[in-house]
């Protein structure tokens, strides 16, 4: 699966339709489906980059590079696994 990086779009905002988060936004990781939410500690971090990948149906989905608090490396998360910090 080839990644389509948007490194040139490292600005605060963009005009992509469907994109929820921008570089510099604080986010929380939503629990995965089927996980016990009572004992789950949500990770919090900052969006450092975003890009799109096509799923198996050929539709583009937004992915984000997130630098979690207390970590030195970024991880990739699909948009539906993230929520804005300060919200639910």
Q: What is the DSSP string of 17-58?
A: TT----TT-EEEEPPPTT--SSSPPPPEEEEEEEEEEE-TTS
Q: pTM of the full predicted structure?
A: 0.73
The class that CATH gives domain 4-84 is: mainly beta
Output the tens digit of pLDDT for each of the chain's 88 residues.
444 545 444 444 555 678 899 999 999 988 776 665 666 677 899 999 999 999 899 999 999 999 999 999 999 999 999 999 876 5
DSSP state of 34: T
Distance CA 5, CA 52 (A): 7
Q: How many CB atoms are located within 10 Å of the residue 13 CB?
A: 11
């Amino acid at each position: 699966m080839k990644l389509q990086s948007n490194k040139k779009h490292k600005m605060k905002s963009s005009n992509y339709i469907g994109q929820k988060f921008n570089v510099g936004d604080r986010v929380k990781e939503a629990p995965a489906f089927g996980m016990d939410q009572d004992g789950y500690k949500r990770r919090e971090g900052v969006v450092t980059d975003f890009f799109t990948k096509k799923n198996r149906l050929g539709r583009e989905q937004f992915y984000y590079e997130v630098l979690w608090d207390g970590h030195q490396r970024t991880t990739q998360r699909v948009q539906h696994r993230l929520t804005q910090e300060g919200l639910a």
